[in-house]
Amino acid sequence: MKDTQIKKLIESEKKRQKKVINLIASENVVSKDVLKALGSELTNKYAEGYPGKRYYGGNEVVDELESLAQTRALRLFGLSPDLWHVNVQPLSGSPANLAVYLALVPIGGKIMGMSLDNGGHLTHGHKVSMTGKAWVQVPFGVDPKTEVIDYDSLKQKAVAEKPAIIVAGFTAYPRTVDFKKFREVADACGPDSPVGTGAILMVDMSHFAGLVAGKAYPSPFEYADVVTTTVHKTLRGPRSALIFVRKDKTKLNTKGVPVSFADLIDKAVFPGLQGGPHLNQIAAVAVALKEASTPAFKKYAQQVVKNAKVLADELTKKGWRIVSGGTDSHLVLIDTWMGGKGIGGKEASDRLEKAGIIVNKNTIPGETRTPVDPSGIRVGSAAETTRGKKEKDFRKVAENIDKVLSA
């Protein structure tokens, strides 16, 4: 690289990443092939539109590329192309979720999503996000005692509020989600819901997509109408996102004609929200999807969960309160304030960073502090498992976290 300033910064970041223990639950370490695809000449190409329907010439290669990425995405999750469509163009998770609402929920309609301090995401209708400005959030949370989702109260609220869409998914909920129960809740919204046949069920599987691919976490596809995911968390690909949608789902347009969710979502992604797709990114997605279909990736996903469980168990033994009492996934939420040693999340994260352990501060259910200095930290096992760490290594990591925070 001729640009020595940027070269130096890339080298410095590479060194930083190698030197630290990375416990950020939403990060991972991609393969050299993913990096190669990202750094390829595909970035030179404009291809607004979709395969076979572009606004520029010269698409014979990128049409094949985008179609291949779609085929691999459906295959990875065992989906028939007769029943499911996938859009591989969303630039990342937030635009993917926004595109689904734009396609399916009338402006001002209700999005039922997990509140941020209970583990939801900003794009599940939080007021600081566009999704909470153009639409109205109906928040749900966890049971204050068990810190897991209470499906009965979720159902009561959904039936009373009749949201147009219900979002099952999270960024900081360590447990498995019962997608069948979410389906029942969505259906219970009845024929008088704004979409006519119960609420739409959307699953945002960004955090656990890799675990679903590796069969280490329940799959949402049997129950959901729409599934969104980022590619760069447990799925270990480039920063990007996918939207899966059932082909048989339709919505009446203003003339009373049924239009498929798939067409509406494609139009919301382009031209609704985005311009030309990032084809280098789509190539890297395709590479990651193939990697995730291997037996080695399945082993990886199982190990991710084993390692997170060890982390939660060891920290519990050392007297730390783990939100919900443990984990079924790649992430663990530690209450460092009330249930710990009275350390705020910011101080905990800063102290760990000084010791070379990278985490993020995080709100916890029933939060009494602020999002910039909340009551906990979130840790995850995806990145360090990619680097080969096993249970014994995570026992050591737990020991180090305890040492640093108890000092």
Which stretches of the chain bind ligand DSN, using CB under 6 A? 26, 93, 121, 171
335 is catalytic: no
User: Measured between alpha carbons, how far is 118 from 322 in angstroms, rounded to an integer?
Assistant: 14
The residue annotated as part of the active site, out of 27, 33, 45, 48, is 48
The burial class, CB within 10 Å (0-12 / 13-18 / 19+), for 48 is middle
Active site residue 369: no
328 is catalytic: no
Which residue number, 122 or 310, has a Cβ lying nearer to ligand DSN?
Answer: 122
In the block, tokens 């003339």 appear at 255
In this complex, which beta carbon is closest to ligand DSN, that of residue 183 or of residue 232? 232
Q: Which of 181, 239, 267, 351 is catalytic?
A: 239
Phi-psi domain of 274 (left: phi exceeds 0; alpha: psi -120 through 50; beta: other): beta
Burial class (CB in 10 A: 0-12, 13-18, 19+), 68: middle
Least distance between ligand DSN and beta carbon 366 (Å): 20
Between 92 and 250, CB nearer to ligand DSN: 92
By beta-carbon proximity to ligand DSN, the closer residue of 171 and 281 is: 171
Shortest approach of ligand DSN to residue 351 CB, angstroms? 20
Choice among 27, 33, 46, 321 that is catalytic: 46
Active site residue 72: no
- Work out how close the CB of 230 gets to ligand DSN at its nearest, in angstroms, rounded to a whole number: 7
* Tokens representing residue 91 in the block: 């630039």
With beta carbons less than 8 A apart as the criterion, state whether 174 and 323 touch: yes
403 labelled catalytic: no
Residue nearest to ligand DSN (CB): 26
∠ CA 236-241-245, nearest 5°, is: 120
CA angle in degrees (0–180, nearest 5) for 299-300-305: 100
Shortest Å, Cβ 142 to ligand DSN: 17
Active site residues: 46, 48, 204, 230, 233, 239
